[in-house]
Amino acid sequence: MNKMLLPMAPYFLALLRVVAGLLFMQHGTQKVLHFPVSDFYPRCSRCCGLAEFWKSSAVR
C-alpha cells in the first residue's frame, strides 16, 4: 500500500496546501469583509483578518 501511495504524496501535499490557503483566506475575509455573515466579531477583527488574509497567500 505504501508503494502505491508514495508517488502520489506530492499531489496530496499540494492539495493540502491549497485547501489550507483557501480556509485561511475565507477566515480572513470573514473578519475583514464580514462575508460569510457571522454573529461573532472580535474587537481586533480588522487587523487579525488582514494578517490571516496575508497568511493565506503565503501558504499557497
Number of domains in the chain: 1
Q: Say if CB 56 and CB 28 are below 8 A apart.
A: yes
18 Rama sector, left if φ>0, alpha if ψ -120 to 50, beta otherwise: alpha
The position carrying cell 487587523 is 47
Let me know if residue 20 belongs to a domain.
yes
- Per the model's pLDDT, the better-predicted residue between 59 and 27 turns out to be 27
pLDDT of residue 42: 62
pLDDT of residue 6: 93
Let me know if residue 5 belongs to a domain.
no
Write down the pTM of the prediction: 0.65
Let me know if residue 43 belongs to a domain.
yes
CA gap 2, 30 in Å, rounded: 39
CA gap 23, 10 in Å, rounded: 20
Let me know if residue 4 belongs to a domain.
no
Render pLDDT for 3-51 as a digit per residue (tens, 0 to 9).
999 999 999 999 999 999 898 888 878 877 877 777 766 666 667 767 7
Residue 1 grid coordinates: 500500500
What domain range includes position 50? 12-59
